[in-house]
A and B are shown apart, each in its own frame.
Chain A
């Protein structure tokens, strides 16, 4: 053991590292015993498995999974060695700058770059004419150009770009470019986007919807939709207005591009989704994909805001090609807001109906979302605003109309909690209102209406594991809910909200008839015993490198320092779809596990060969493979490895993950499909200053079901971080457009991200429902935890002062106006005399509590039994659970196009269906 002591605190000197004896590997020379506390009961260990066994149980070696693990790349970050976009400084580089449109909507009549070209130090200039091919993240809606071709669609739209010897020269050159514009009537109002226009912002040819600015429309009806209102004893209706918000990552976009002497392009960029950039670059530059190497730098925050292929990335490549020199483009903060892709400004009408038994007999949602000037991820967002609130509750009827319109604003896109955040807030606030009307506890109301594990939602999503019930129960206990709800004095309140989110999109954006996998991981192990992991998963700070490393380490029984991740370059990484839709842990860790299992098999084979031990009895521990019945029989990892490498050298393995076939067949059925879903429940405690309207969030109890916390440190980090980001959207963040249509606050002073002082105490609570298909049982934890914070704060505000908010953010001035209105309603002049809400439970409370109890039993039975019968949404309403209700009754609608009757009196977004697509028009 004396050797071990010497290892501590020593100074590392190259070449003087004590050489580890064969058989160890890693910094710590000595194998550790397996930690029985981490080995599942199914494998003879002591780890309790209340949710049953898991198919990965036999792979658990107690090496890495479930331990609080610092991020793989944390030390690069704390020493300043992490290189982000603008830190890539290539020798002989030029600085690129972008000329942007000063108009909201205009036709470019001409561009004269001659004066700029003759400025000393200017090396290359590009305009729309240099790259006319369209691109866009979704293949069905490619509507962007590297630089504007013909039309500029929002202020800040890219018009031309310059590469010069230095920044000042590039900036000066921009001022010398003469652009002649014909200004067109611009539109900022999303409702107006539904109407016909003389100059639609885009022209989609025969697929264009009338002459309108509607980019996408959705109609869905499932279940008993015709008489929701009539069946209800309580109904909630609210018209919500959500302002747009920006990701607010700290690193502004930056890119460097360089064509090497063989004519291949390397692009260095902080991308969440390098693969889609790879495809788009090939389209725009008109070169084959194999001539491009996409190098992902460290990413200074993404949250969905770095997941589109971006025009400035194309610009850098074009300028570098023109100039023959590397080009670096870095954004000012203002440009970050102009490229945006943040959460859609939305108008959402939410209708919820509850029947006499306290069941959710109807949900009718109408969501109009403002896409700004490009499609981006909007096609998907339009679906998500509806389909992602069909769980965790069992519902009797679901009606959704959604529409996304183009306006002359910077484009909206995907942002953490993509498409689910705003409508989830509306649902959860509505549930609070329904409970109030029914005079029941909103916790109990929710607990009595949950879908069980292994069930299908009303639109056919497959719920495998759910820890929703546990989340609610845990926050109820931790927050002291029963002592506080409706019992706190005026200005002090508590509220609950839940969340439900996809754990990886079931349908990849670029799907193929050839069934490519979603994620692929390659492993390579050479003589040294270290494992090189090649993965294209984009580490953006969420810990994707770490989770992949942990998964490999766990299966192979290795310490983490023997795993090295190569995830930066498309040249060396297998294709991965990127860091969006909370897919990385689920898909990449699964791919990594399958690759590691191959290696594991080879190591065990080798051990059998050396020791003659029975293969079935061999287990892997820390750098040692041994007979579990006689641990003295075994070999070290390196011995087994070297045996396996005889005759062939390095071991290599490839593992892949693809979602299983799932979902129904209706149009749009794939939107929202995921191999698993995460669930969460939060309780927020707030104080509202009724005189100023200031809302201060004091505490948040945040329970999230992530299946299994592979790295609890990261899961908690995601929960607390989500609270911060969601809190920003509730309290203070909004993109403000002024009367001229300009974005008024494109800077971090006036775009109000909460500071440390606004941050409440967050108590993260991890619930582990052990998903059957997740890696070691894991599901996502990156986006879902954002959803419940918005409604729990809104509901707490109601508990505090009796005010139902329906516009976010609840800035002080808005709140003050609401409070004035409330005073008028209650007939008091001093807001300090407002009535604090109280509650006396009705008889229904008992009924619901009993049902919740029965359901709890039902759920436990379902999750632990071997052969579970199907459970389709609808059983709570008297349908046979095992058969889809539409096969049982004609009353149960399944429809994705509106009826004539609906079109006579549509809701706001629903009115999008009044237009006829050009190809279906008689005059077409």
Chain B
């Protein structure tokens, strides 16, 4: 039916069960067997904080934590991360309190248009969990897979350094409720 040279897109792959813990909540969905994690998170789970910038692994906007490790969801097959623990930007805050890294991104201008922010945040969060006092160079390596077009990266590095100071001043705790953050307004449907 289709033109010569083109690869048919239909029929779609069969649907199979997929489950994971997303931001601490068990999720079970029926998805195409070849589905890509980014599509599953955005279209089935509804965690729209995970962004699609290039879909090819060259911008990092889609980064999420899989069992605590930052990964590109656009290059991850959903089936391969069945039954894992997935954290997206929506899962970084502790209850109604922002994580230090979220707080410092706001205060130090680490976020301008904000589209790359979810990716940077999860990458930074993972870095700070494994290394509470990263050097500038370590931060740069950690975020080398994330593209930001607004900030010139410098305020992002500053934000991560500031978050590391908050964390280390609390003697290693990453319990963000210890930090005097503003309570954020919770999850509301209406935008600002």
Contact = CB atoms under 8 A, between A and B. Distances in A.
A666 interface: no
B71 interface: no
A721 B150 contact: yes
B143 A756 contact: yes
- Residues of A in contact with B, size category: 35 or more
Contacts of A70: 106-107, 109
Contact of B192 (A10, A302, A333, A565): A565
Contact of B1 (A73, A87, A115, A716): A115
Given A12-B96, A72-B192, A74-B106, A720 B144 contact: no
Given A78-B121, A251-B115, A73 B192 contact: yes
A543 B112 CA distance: 8
A250 B184 contact: no
Given A75-B185, A79-B184, A301-B150, A172 B9 contact: yes
A766 B47 CA distance: 39
B151 A12 contact: no
A714 interface: yes
A761 B158 CA distance: 12
B12 A299 contact: no
Contacts of A175: 2-3, 6, 8-9
Given A75-B106, A250-B61, A82 B114 contact: yes
B115 A75 contact: no
A300 B95 contact: no
B143 to A, nearest CB: 6
B49 interface: yes
Contacts of B111: 71, 74, 77-78
Nearest to A543: B112
Interface residues of B, number: 73
Contacts of A10: 183
A749 B151 CA distance: 20
Given A249-B115, A541-B114, A747 B54 contact: yes
B10 A717 contact: no
A98 to B, nearest CB: 15
Contacts of B157: 756
Interface in A315-361: 330, 332-333
A300 B114 contact: yes
B49 A81 contact: yes
B83 interface: no
B113 A300 contact: yes
Given A84-B51, A172-B2, A75 B184 contact: yes
Contacts of B181: 9
A168 interface: yes
Nearest to B113: A541
Nearest to B150: A721
Q: Which of A171, A247, A298, A748 has the most CB of B within 10 A?
A: A748
Interface in B51-96: 51-56, 58-59, 61, 88-90, 92-93, 95-96
A421 interface: no
Given A172-B2, A301-B149, A756 B140 contact: yes
A613 B56 CA distance: 67
A77 B117 contact: yes
Contacts of A77: 105-106, 111, 114, 117
A73 B106 CA distance: 9
A911 interface: no
A252 B118 contact: no
B147 interface: yes
B189 to A, nearest CB: 10
Given A78-B111, A332-B55, A87 B48 contact: yes
B96 A717 contact: no
Contact of A249 (B98, B113, B118, B186): B113
B151 A721 contact: yes
A714 B109 contact: yes
Interface string A285-321: 0000000000000111111000000000000000000
A367 to B, nearest CB: 26
B49, B92, B111: which has the most chain A beta carbons within 10 Å? B111
A70 B156 CA distance: 13
B134 interface: no
Interface in A137-184: 166, 168-169, 171-172, 175-176
Interface in A715-751: 716-717, 720-725, 747-749
Given A76-B192, A79-B90, A541 B183 contact: no
Contacts of B2: 172, 175-176
B160 to A, nearest CB: 11
B187 to A, nearest CB: 7
A251 B154 contact: no
A563 B47 CA distance: 29
A168 B12 contact: yes
A8 B178 CA distance: 11
A846 to B, nearest CB: 39
A469 interface: no
Contacts of B151: 717, 720-721, 724
Given A75-B184, A303-B149, A717-B155, A84 B98 contact: no
B100 to A, nearest CB: 11
B113 A540 contact: yes
B144 to A, nearest CB: 6
B27 to A, nearest CB: 16
Given A172-B2, A172-B10, A756-B140, A717 B109 contact: yes
Contacts of B96: 11-12
A604 interface: no
B142 to A, nearest CB: 9
A541 B155 contact: no
A171 B111 CA distance: 34
Interface string A589-611: 00000000000000000000000
B54 A333 contact: yes
Interface centre among B51, B116, B185 (most CB of A within 10 A): B51
Interface in B22-60: 42, 47-56, 58-59
Given A80-B49, A300-B51, A716 B184 contact: no
Contacts of B152: 720-725, 759, 762
A79 B115 contact: no
A530 to B, nearest CB: 13
Contact of B58 (A330, A540, A748, A761): A748
Given A9-B180, A79-B102, A251-B115, A172 B8 contact: yes
A713 interface: yes
Contacts of B56: 333, 747-749
Contact of B183 (A12, A80, A298): A12
Given A76-B191, A303-B149, A333-B56, A8 B180 contact: yes
Interface in A210-250: 247-250
Given A568-B191, A759-B152, A71 B1 contact: no
Given A333-B55, A748-B58, A756 B102 contact: no
A176 B115 contact: no
Interface centre among A87, A115, A543, A723 (most CB of B within 10 A): A87
Contacts of A252: 52-53
A756 B137 CA distance: 10
B113 A724 contact: no
Nearest to A82: B114
B183 A76 contact: no
Q: Lowest 10 CB-CB distances: which A-B pairs, in order?
A: A80-B49, A541-B113, A300-B115, A77-B114, A724-B152, A74-B106, A80-B89, A720-B152, A12-B183, A78-B102
Given A89-B48, A249-B115, A332-B55, 19 more contacts: A11-B97, A70-B107, A71-B106, A76-B192, A78-B98, A78-B114, A78-B121, A79-B102, A81-B90, A81-B191, A84-B115, A298-B115, A333-B53, A333-B55, A565-B192, A749-B56, A749-B58, A756-B153, A757-B144
Interface of A: 8-12, 70-84, 86-87, 89, 115, 166, 168-169, 171-172, 175-176, 247-252, 298-303, 330, 332-333, 540-543, 545, 564-565, 568, 713-714, 716-717, 720-725, 747-749, 753, 755-757, 759, 761-762
